[in-house]
Amino acid sequence: MRDQKNEANRLTKPFKIVWGRELTMIDVKKQLLEDLNQLKLDNSVLQPNTTYDNRKYQQPEMIIIGLEKDCTIYKRTFIKYQFIQLKKRSISKKFESWIGYDDFNGDLIQVHLCLCGRKADQCDAMENFMNNRAKKVSSKNRFSFRCPSIAVIGSDGSGKSTVTTDLEKWFSKKLDCRRYYLGSGDHYNPIYKQGLRTIVRWFGRSRSSNEQQAVNTGKSQLKKTPDRVLKKGLKKGYCHLNAFYLYRISVHSLKQLKKSNDFSKNGGISLFDRFPQNQFMGINDGPKIRKAYGTINSPIINCLMQMEEKNIGRCVKMSPGLVIKLIVSPEIAVTRKPDHSILELERKADIIHTLSFRDAVIHNVDASQQYDIELKAIKKLIWNYLFQCSKTNG
């Protein structure tokens, strides 16, 4: 019972970097070079200039030309510093590519390892490798195992979109990474949303016209004007169109998850900005039609409501492997989102703490700390998780 309680506390306590305590920052590239020198292996180590054009090929930070008999030693050294072996290319059967995370700089480090049978063949292997590398390695790297998906969730103002966008840019420098937006905000703007805005504009014009007429005739019935306008069909049309729009959000999320599933199977990294849940209705990416229009007696809305909940239920079954919860206080969130109610932000923050995901590793990160420190903490958590997955699947 005590171990379970400690584990629960670990998952609910926001993760915050304190230099020299939670994380020990080391210069991985420097330590790797020192270890290779101490081992005194028959190898050649090159450190190419990394100022290159990303569109041509993935430039490694280090190229090692060694002997086949030392293969186990190299792998043991790479694993010591949490390097992950990438999917093999067709350059050579004796060629391996490894990638690791540098705690000190917060960057990814790629190492190419080319093994030869004899020491005399190292020069020829180096020449062939350098000639073929730019021609063959033109696409982004992927892992050799199925890469679990990663979801970043949080209340409004926690910085979900900013974090996932920066993570995608960071991963894409060396790895094949895609970001999927699974929410209903400004990042998802289908034609149904434009129809809703048109109806709102029509309603605004009608209300403005009725208000002006009431003023001209001296009638004080401005509060009754919206009801009369809505009864003419705008309210009914708006409710049905909005219910259809909410249903299409669930369809969009399900399609995105299916795409990401195929992508992850081939070793790509899938990042989710938000993730659907069915534990709370009408809020935090949960089903919305029942709470918004469940009291309306309409067969169309009832059908859309059932289909939306079914789609979100299917999304929930495709749970991510790693969930990063961005924890921020409502007082800070309201300064970032001044158009939101603090009471609503408090409720959303409480829900984020409560949300659970099936078979997922969950980490809380303090989103109120300095952003570069927060982002580095998230990178470290993700890389630790990917390294453990590589050991399990390797």
State the pTM of this model: 0.80
Structure-model confidence comparison of residues 364 and 201, the more confident one: 364
Structure-model confidence comparison of residues 74 and 235, the more confident one: 74
Percent of the chain scoring above 70 in pLDDT: 71
In this predicted structure, the answer to whether residue 140 has a pLDDT above a threshold of 60 is yes
* Strand duo 62-67 + 107-116: pairing: parallel
User: Would you say domain 150-393 falls under CATH 3.40.640.10?
Assistant: no
pLDDT confidence of residue 25: 66
Whether 284 contacts 299, CB under 8 Å: no
Q: How far apart are CA 354 and CA 41, in angstroms?
A: 53
φ, ψ of residue 337 in degrees (nearest 5): -125, 75
pLDDT confidence of residue 265: 92
Nearest to 275 by CA among 347, 337, 342, 326: 326
Nearest to 204 by CA among 230, 231, 186: 230
Whole-number CA gyration radius for the chain: 27
Domain boundaries, the chain: 22-136, 150-393
pLDDT confidence of residue 127: 59
Q: What is the pLDDT of residues 11-53, one digit of tens each?
A: 444 444 333 334 456 788 888 888 888 887 777 777 776 544 4
At 99, is the secondary structure helix, strand, or coil? Answer: strand
pLDDT confidence of residue 245: 85
Non-local (6+) Cβ contacts of 211 within 8 A are 222, 225
Dig out the tokens for 118 from the structure: 């004899």
Nearest to 238 by CA among 198, 204, 272: 198
In this predicted structure, the answer to whether residue 91 has a pLDDT above a threshold of 70 is no
Helices 235-265 + 299-317 axis angle, to 10: 20
Q: Into which CATH architecture does domain 22-136 fall?
A: 2-Layer Sandwich (3.30)
Given this chain, do its domains 22-136 and 150-393 carry the same CATH topology?
no
Tell me which residue has tokens 């509060």: 223
Amino acid at 110: Q
